[in-house]
Amino acid sequence: MRCTACGSEERHCVRHSKLLERNGVVIVVRDVPMEECSHCETRWLTADTARTLDQLFPLLRSAQPGSTIVREWDDLTPTAA
């Protein structure tokens, strides 16, 4: 599959932090698995990873504005991707 930004066909698996923000609440998830273009470093989440992150949205709605919540990816998934 080609990179949508630069057209390169080279991708590799990496892990980086992902930030979710809504209404003044921030969730940082550390060590999220994703694919990265070897040429331009554009990153993509798999559908399964995105669904797991979507499960955090209730936390965004229920937390106090100004809150920052930090989670580890491996704590969110029974079998880490």
* 58 occurs within a structural domain: yes
* 6 occurs within a structural domain: no
49-74: average pLDDT: 93
* 18 occurs within a structural domain: yes
How many domains, in total, are found in the chain? 1
Evaluate whether 29 touches 55 at the Cβ level (below 8 Å): no
* 20 occurs within a structural domain: yes
* 4 occurs within a structural domain: no
Full domain range(s) for residue 58: 11-76
In this prediction the pTM is 0.83
* 72 occurs within a structural domain: yes
* Residue whose C-alpha is closest to residue 31's, from 58, 70, 57: 70
Query: pLDDT of 8-35, one tens digit each?
Result: 999 999 999 999 999 999 999 999 999 9
* 35 occurs within a structural domain: yes
* 24 occurs within a structural domain: yes
Mean residue pLDDT of the chain comes to: 93
* Residue whose C-alpha is closest to residue 54's, from 81, 20, 80: 20
